[in-house]
Every structure is written in structure tokens, then in C-alpha cells.
């Protein structure tokens, strides 16, 4: 690469680099510095250097427990629902219906998540599904303000984000591989496990990581459908920064969450490389 090409590349990357530093690295640095400080007498941040905030992290154990439980479970539930739907759209639907069905998948995103979450308050409240269950003899069924309600809300809210990466991966699937497997007498279930599933794993991993990362920072759905009884780390951060104004402790909680996310992304990167190699192996079969 010539000197002129190097300068041109540096010039093109400079705006993105400055934006990245200003919008990501600088806020993270501020949060990290705040996490070693103290809460001032009137709230906010007081300069200092102490590990007291990190030692106090167990005080928010319930928020971390709920997040680290419901975020993976919600991701898996969304995957189990999204994969058959994406497979149907990519493989089974005729081209003339495909566009319309894809639009129907994305239609919920045209409405605010706040409105959609409030709709679930009615469906899960006393006059919704529990009232229907009473007609068949199931009395005193409580769905709202429970982990189940939060799980339903997050799966419903983030399902399209799981469907589309899987759909894109399946759309690129070479149908000739399936035809060759059928000609060789391979049962459909084995063809799916040995060809379709490995080739769609990049989409599965991308969708899972996208949904999981967003769920780790979720606060609106637990606040609405959890009713203050089921809360995530995002709800704890809102409380610490805006209500109790303990910015130092809130920063420590945020740093802990970022560390968990970095570990998750590291595992995700290893899985992508592994299944990327598996995809190449399948392509060479």
C-alpha cells in the first residue's frame, strides 16, 4: 500500500473513529471513573478512589439474577419461535407471498414498544387471559407482574430481530444440497441436522446475540409488565442514577454489566469462528 493510499484510508476512517471515541469510549471512560468514586452528600458523584461500590454489588443481586435468567431464557424462547417461522418464509413460501409475509413480521415495529407493552397489560390482566381461564375452571390465575409476563413481553417485542438474521441465512441456502441429499436417500430430518442447521448457524448466532445484548439492557418491559416486582439491571440503573442519585454505585453496576457483555461477545466470536469453519466444511461436502 502506497503512502497516498494510507493517507486516504486514514482520512476516510477519521470521522468514524472520532464518532466512535466520542460516543462510546468517552462515556465508558467517564462511567469507569465514576465507579471508583463516592456518592456526594447531596447525591451525584464525589471524587475519590475506592472499591466500595464494587464490594456493594451483591446489594443488586436480584436485578442481576433476573437479567441473567430471563435474558437467556427469552433469547432461547425467541429462537425456538423464530427459527420455524424464518424457515417457513425462506424455504416453503412462494415468492409472490414472501414479501407480504415479511412485512407482516415487521409490522409490530411500526408501533411503539410502549403501546405494545401496555396492550399486554390488558391481555395478561384480570379481564384478559385469566378471565378466559376462569371459564374452564382455572381460578385465581395471576399472570401480570410475574416473570412469565416479562418473558412474554420480551419475546414478543424482540422476535422480529431474531427472525430476520435467520431468514437471511436460510435464504442463501443452496437448495441443490438438499436435493442431492434427498437423491442419496437421506431422511429429511438428517438433511436438516447435517445441512440446513449448520449453514443457518451464522444467522442463529447473530440473531441470538442481537436479542441477548438488547435484553441485557432492557428496562421498559420489566417496568411495565413486571410491575416493580420483576426488575432488570436496566431498572436498577434508572433507580440509581435518576431516583437515589447514587452515580458512583450506578456506574459500578453499569461496569459490571459491560464486563458481562464483553465476556458474552467473546464467547459469541469463538462460536462464529467455529460454525464458520463448519459451514465451509459443509460447503465442501
pLDDT digits (tens, 9 = 90+) for 133-156: 888 877 778 888 899 999 999 999
Which residue numbers in the chain have pLDDT < 70? 1-3, 275-285
Q: Which residues, at least 6 apart from 202, have a Cβ–Cβ distance to it below 8 Å? A: 169, 272, 275, 276, 279
Supply the pLDDT for residue 281: 53
Supply the pLDDT for residue 187: 87
Supply the pLDDT for residue 284: 44
- Residue 44: beta bridge partners? 246
Give the integer Cα–Cα distance in Å for 7 and 12.
Answer: 9
Percent of the chain with pLDDT over 70: 95
Burial of 271 (0-12, 13-18, 19+ CB in 10 A): middle
pLDDT digits (tens, 9 = 90+) for 83-118: 999 999 988 888 888 888 888 888 888 888 888 888
Q: Which residues, at least 6 apart from 204, have a Cβ–Cβ distance to it below 8 Å? A: 79, 83, 165, 166, 169
Torsion of CA 250, 256, 262, 266, to 10 degrees: -160
Q: Are 90 and 173 in contact (CB under 8 A)?
A: yes
* Three-class secondary structure assignment of 40-70: CCCCECECCCCCHHHHCHHHHHHHHHHHHHH
Supply the pLDDT for residue 276: 60
Phi, psi of 98 (to 5 degrees): -60, -45
Amino acid at each position: 500500500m502506497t503512502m497516498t493510499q494510507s493517507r486516504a484510508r486514514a482520512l476516510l476512517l477519521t470521522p468514524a473513529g472520532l464518532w466512535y471515541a466520542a460516543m462510546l469510549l468517552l462515556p465508558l471512560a467517564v462511567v469507569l471513573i465514576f465507579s471508583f468514586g463516592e456518592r456526594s452528600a447531596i447525591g451525584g458523584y464525589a471524587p475519590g478512589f475506592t472499591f466500595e461500590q464494587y464490594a456493594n454489588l451483591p446489594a443488586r443481586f436480584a436485578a442481576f439474577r433476573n437479567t441473567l435468567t430471563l435474558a437467556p431464557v427469552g433469547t432461547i424462547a425467541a429462537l425456538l419461535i423464530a427459527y420455524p417461522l424464518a424457515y417457513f418464509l425462506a424455504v416453503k413460501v412462494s415468492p409472490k407471498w414472501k414479501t407480504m409475509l415479511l412485512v407482516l413480521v415487521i409490522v409490530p415495529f411500526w408501533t411503539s414498544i410502549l403501546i405494545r407493552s401496555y396492550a399486554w397489560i390488558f391481555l395478561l390482566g384480570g379481564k384478559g387471559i385469566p378471565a378466559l381461564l376462569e371459564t374452564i375452571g382455572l381460578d385465581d390465575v395471576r399472570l401480570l407482574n410475574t416473570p412469565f409476563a416479562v418473558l412474554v413481553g420480551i419475546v414478543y417485542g424482540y422476535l422480529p430481530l431474531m427472525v430476520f438474521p435467520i431468514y437471511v441465512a436460510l435464504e442463501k441456502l443452496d437448495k441443490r444440497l438438499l436435493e442431492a441429499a434427498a437423491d442419496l436417500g437421506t431422511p429429511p430430518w438428517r438433511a436438516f441436522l447435517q445441512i440446513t442447521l449448520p449453514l443457518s448457524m451464522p444467522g442463529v448466532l447473530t440473531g441470538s446475540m442481537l436479542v441477548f445484548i438488547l435484553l441485557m439492557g432492557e428496562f421498559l418491559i420489566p417496568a411495565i409488565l413486571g410491575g416493580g416486582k420483576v426488575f432488570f439491571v436496566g431498572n436498577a440503573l434508572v433507580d440509581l442514577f435518576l431516583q437515589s442519585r447514587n452515580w458512583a454505585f450506578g456506574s459500578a453496576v453499569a461496569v459490571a454489566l459491560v464486563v458481562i457483555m464483553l465476556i458474552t461477545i467473546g464467547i459469541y466470536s469463538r462460536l462464529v469462528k467455529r460454525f464458520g469453519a463448519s459451514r465451509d466444511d459443509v460447503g465442501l461436502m
